[in-house]
Amino acid sequence: MQREARLSASLTAILNDMGDWDPPPDVSPEQPVIPLHIGIPTPDLLPLDAMQDIANQVLQDRDPSTWAYGFGPGYLPLRTALAAHWSAKFGTTNDPDYFQITQGSSGALDMLGRSLLNPGDVVFMEYPCYMGTYRNFRALGAQIEFIRSDSSGIDVDHLRERVLALTSAGQVLKFVYTIAEFSNPTGARLSSAKRRALLELSSEFDLLVIDDAAYAELDFDTAPSSPSTDYPFLGRDASSHRVISVGSLSKTLATGLRIGWIHASPKWQQLFGQMRFAMGLNQFSVRLVSGFFASGAYARHVDQMKQHYYDRMTQLHDAVLKHCGDKVRVIEPLGGFYLWVQVPTDHVTVWKTAYKKGIHAIPGRNFRPELGAPEPPKDYLRLAYPFTPIADFDEAGRRLNAAIVDAMK
């Protein structure tokens, strides 16, 4: 089969498997749909040749440990490589004991939740929020307290108010969950001032911060004053024991590898390790990724992805503005995978009409869990740019405009 034909067959399979992000059930599209709902790396940039060489090497090595359970915090060469990479990039410690390898960052969040939460404990979550984490913590019995956020991240004043109120009410406050770098769904990055305020609050109330760094490497800064000075990685000083970060290679490399990590002080890692029930990770996948780091290819790959996603973001952003700039508001994100587009009328109607006209977006209400959010992030659509062919972006902008015009009738 030709590479293109193979790719499009497998893309169809991926699209059909995105149950969480279903299209409107009662709407039939008038033409083939442009998928703007998918937050996974474009298949065009998968480093398959390099992976094939590494896979061959792993097979040749015939190391029995590749074919066995992988107990403990994870393969040391990969933890060492992660520590060196994050230390160079974000000034974290380069001690591998600060890293534990997990089954994606969702595996990391699940492990954290199971280690830390008792039913009824309060978890603060910024909203709009990433629904996967919300569902996970809810399933573990947490009481979710939603904290407003805007284009500069979580509202730390609102958080302080709620911390004070719930402390006086005698509640057990477990942690704050935030996506400091390039939120899913809004693309927002926590501002420097709010970073300082959040860390101060965390120290004042001895409140743990869980920083979901799934997109943290994908910043669009190209200026010499790099983000590591203005925007230190929230978990940089994990030795304070108050910030735990979770991350992933899903967004920079490939979602199917299922490799993520927890960055935290060894004190926490020990606790999480005790909760580990699965007998380690897929060791073949771990060795593939480890080999990719060891060859120096990972850092180069991420640089290439950043540039590529920046180009994609600007092209989708420009297409949206070109066709419906008089009707929508959208802030250019500084990194990550998503445009958070404010539409001028009921967003569910726009979402449905857009699907009919041939674009699959995600309605803002999906990032508003059913319980407790003080105000729903209505009137927004999330458009994801990392996956869909760039050639379709202009047409997507045109269809979005047509959908808004129809929805406003």
Contact set with ligand PMP (CB under 6 A): 39, 104-106, 130, 132, 179, 184, 212, 214, 248, 250, 255, 260
Cα atoms in the Cβ-side hemisphere of radius 13 Å centred on 253: 23
Least spacing, CB of residue 395 vs ligand PMP, in Å = 25
By C-beta, is 122 or 214 nearer to ligand PMP? 214
Q: How many residues does the chain have?
A: 409
Q: CA nearest 31: which of 400, 355, 327, 265? A: 355
By C-beta, is 327 or 365 nearer to ligand PMP? 365
Q: CA nearest 386: which of 35, 71, 151? A: 35
Least spacing, CB of residue 336 vs ligand PMP, in Å = 9
Separation CA 283–CA 346 (nearest Å): 48
Within 8 A by CB and 6+ apart from 282, the residues are 258
DSSP state of 252: T
Least spacing, CB of residue 216 vs ligand PMP, in Å = 10
Q: What is the 3-state secondary structure (H, E, C) of 159-211?
A: HHHHHHHHHHCCCCEEEEEECCCCCCCCCCCCCHHHHHHHHHHHHHCCCEEEE
By C-beta, is 29 or 132 nearer to ligand PMP? 132
Which residue lies nearest ligand PMP, judged by its C-beta? 104
Least spacing, CB of residue 103 vs ligand PMP, in Å = 7
Separation CA 98–CA 46 (nearest Å): 28
**Two tokens at 204?**
């004042």
By C-beta, is 102 or 283 nearer to ligand PMP? 102
By C-beta, is 47 or 128 nearer to ligand PMP? 128
By C-beta, is 123 or 179 nearer to ligand PMP? 179
Least spacing, CB of residue 352 vs ligand PMP, in Å = 23
By C-beta, is 184 or 202 nearer to ligand PMP? 184
By C-beta, is 188 or 359 nearer to ligand PMP? 188
Residue 328: what are its φ and ψ, rounded to 5°?
-120, 165
Least spacing, CB of residue 185 vs ligand PMP, in Å = 8
Least spacing, CB of residue 258 vs ligand PMP, in Å = 7
φ/ψ region of 233 (left if φ > 0, alpha if ψ in -120 to 50, else beta) reads beta
Least spacing, CB of residue 26 vs ligand PMP, in Å = 26
**Cis peptide preceding 128, ω within 30 of 0:** yes
